[in-house]
Amino acid sequence: MRKLFLLLAAWPLLAATISNGQTFIIPFHKSYKTFMTHTTVGHLLIIPIPYDAKPATRWLRIDGKPVRLEIKRKRYPKERLHVAPSKVHPPKSAQKRIAAEYKEAKKIYAHFTPKSFITKPFTLPLYSEITDPFGVARIFNGKLASYHSGTDFRAKMGTPVRAINDGKVVLAKMRYYAGGSVIIDHGRGIYSCYYHLSRFKVKPGKMVKRGDVIALSGKSGRVTGPHLHLTIKVRGITVDPLHFIEAFNRSFRTESSPR
C-alpha cells in the first residue's frame, strides 16, 4: 500500500505539450521551480520556448507538485520573397550601422525591469488580416536568410498602431532592416516591438497605456509592401506573438477570477 501511495504521489499533476516558438504559461499559488529560462507576472509563470528548441521533456514543480512539459517540434512553412539586393547583401557602408543596431537591440532585451507594468490582458496593435504568421522560413532572393520573427498585419500607409499593453517606450527610431521601430518594455523581461513604421507618436522614456497610438504603419526597412510587423520577446527569446497573447490572456483571466 505504501508503494502504491508513493507511486501516485510521484505521478505528475499536469502533463502539457508546447511547440518551439510558443510560450508556456501556468499559474502558481506560492512557489515554483524550473531550470528553464522564465519570468513571472504576478502569480503567472511564463516560460518562452526558443524557435530552435529540440523535442524534449522538461519537469517543473508548481506549489510542490510535479508538472511534465513536452516540447514538440513544429514544422513551420517556407516563404520566398524578392527584395532589393542591398537588403539581402547590404553594402559595406551599411554594415557598421547594422552591427550597431544589433548591439543596441541585444542590450535592450538583456535589460530586466523588476517591476511589471502589466495589470490587464494584452490586446492587438490593430485589427486586420494576418498576412504573414510567425515562424515562416524566409528565403530572400532564392537564399534562406532567416525565419519570420513576428506576425505581420495588413495595414495601409498611415494606419494607427496601438500599444498592446502598458509599458515604457525604450526605442523609437529608423533602423536598416526593421525600418521605423518602436520597442516597449512591459517589465519583467517582456518586450513588444513594432516595425516598418512611417511615423512615430512617442519618444523613448514615455510611459504608454494599452491602446495608446504609438505610431503610424508604413513600408520602411526590408519589406515588399506596407504592413505592420509585431514581435514579442520574453527574457530575450522571440516567441509567437499571437500564441503569447492568447496564452497570457487565458491564464491572466483564470488567475484574476474569484476563487
- Residue 8 is predicted with a pLDDT of 38
Are 117 and 130 within one domain?
A: yes
149 and 234, same domain (yes or no): yes
Query: How far is it, in rounded angstroms, from Cα 81 to Cα 72?
Result: 28
pLDDT, average across residues 118-137? 94
Same-domain check for residues 182 and 116: yes
Confidence band of 14 (pLDDT split at 50, 70, 90): confident
Same domain flag for 128 and 221: yes
User: Do 226 and 213 fall within a single domain?
Assistant: yes
Residue 20: pLDDT above 90?
yes
For residues 93 and 220, state if they share a domain.
yes
Q: Which of 56, 74, 92 is the last residue of a domain?
A: 74
* 153-195 residue pLDDT tens: 999 999 999 999 999 999 999 999 999 999 999 999 999 999 9
Residue 140 confidence (pLDDT): 65
User: Considering the domain boundaries, does residue 50 fall inside one?
Assistant: yes
Same domain, 84 and 26: no
Average pLDDT over residues 103-132: 97
User: For residue 219, is it within any domain?
Assistant: yes
**Confidence band of 3 (pLDDT split at 50, 70, 90):** very low
Residues 224 and 187 placed together within one structural domain of the fold: yes
Task: Indicate whether 225 belongs to any domain.
Answer: yes
Q: Establish if 252 belongs to a structural domain.
A: no
The pLDDT, as a whole number, for residue 81 is 64
Please check whether residue 200 lies inside any domain of the structure: yes
What is the pLDDT at residue 208? Answer: 98
Q: Which of 99, 84, 153 is nearest to 125 (CA)?
A: 153
Q: Which residues pair with 167 in a beta bridge?
A: 208
Same domain as 239, residue 148: yes
- 60 and 102 together in one domain: no
Domains of the chain: total:
2
Q: What are the distances in angstroms from CA 126 to CA 122, 167, 212, 233? A: 12, 17, 11, 19
- Looking at the structure, tell me whether residues 70 and 83 fall in a common domain: no
Is the domain of 193 the same as that of 95? yes
Question: Is residue 255 domain-resident?
Answer: no
Does residue 53 lie in a domain region? yes
Q: Is residue 254 part of a domain?
A: no
Interior angle at CA 164, CA 45 and CA 18, nearest 5? 40
CATH number of the domain encompassing residue 230: 2.70.70.10
Q: Among 27, 48, 74, give the residue marking a domain's end.
A: 74
In terms of Cβ atoms closer than 10 Å to its own Cβ (0-12, 13-18, 19+), residue 127 is exposed
Domain that holds residue 204: 78-247
* Pairing label, strands 179-185, 167-175: antiparallel
pLDDT in tens, 28-79: 999 999 999 999 999 999 999 999 999 999 999 999 999 999 999 998 877 6
Cα separation of 246 and 26, whole Å?
A: 13
Does pLDDT of 200 surpass 90? yes
Of the candidates 74, 93, 116, which is a domain's last residue? 74
Q: Would the pLDDT of 112 be above 60?
A: yes
pLDDT for 128-158, tens place per residue? Answer: 999 999 998 866 655 556 788 999 999 999 9
Q: Over the chain, what is the mean pLDDT?
A: 90
CATH of the domain at 9: 2.60.40.10
